[in-house]
Amino acid sequence: MSQQEMGIREELLKRFIESGERERLQEILRSKLYTSGWQDRVKDKCQKVVHESGEGVEKLTVDSIAEAVTPFARATVSEDIKAEILEDIRAFIFRTLPKTES
């Protein structure tokens, strides 16, 4: 990635955060995940990992549980939710990027 591209990326991220758009999309995502039952499925998976651990609960760490559950959690987010959030991010980028003349 060129220096110019890095600069644009950093500026977009800065505006994304400062505008409150990141927080707004995080809230939408949380709500959609909750209403879809995703959080319950991930919680159940965490409990299963803890119960099936051969190391004993005392030796488990949050990091080890997260490492075991993250692939499942990512894979079980509905494609509709992913597409909607991605579309919102794209719309923000297009609204934010300076208009170039062809």
83 lies in some domain: yes
How buried is residue 5: exposed, middle or buried, by Cβ count under 10 Å (0-12/13-18/19+)? exposed
pLDDT for 54-80, tens place per residue?
A: 766 778 899 999 999 999 999 999 999
43 and 64 both lie in a single domain: yes
Which pTM does this prediction carry?
Answer: 0.80
Please tell me the distance from the alpha carbon of residue 13 to that of residue 93, in angstroms, as a whole number.
Answer: 10
Provide the number of structural domains found in the chain: 2
Q: Quick one: pLDDT at residue 2?
A: 87
Report yes or no on 45 lying in a domain: yes
The domain containing residue 14 runs over which residues?
Answer: 1-36+79-96
pLDDT for res 100: 62
Predicted confidence at residue 89, as pLDDT, reads: 96
Q: Are 33 and 9 in contact (CB under 8 A)?
A: no
Q: Which residue has the tokens 């909750």?
A: 34
102 belongs to a structural domain = no
Give the other-Cβ count within 10 Å of 76's Cβ.
Answer: 14
**Does position 102 have pLDDT exceeding 80, yes or no?**
no
Q: Which helix (H) or strand (E) holds 81?
A: helix 79-96
Mean pLDDT on 28-49: 96
- Greater model confidence, 52 or 37: 37
Average pLDDT over residues 9-37: 96
CA distance 12 to 93: 7
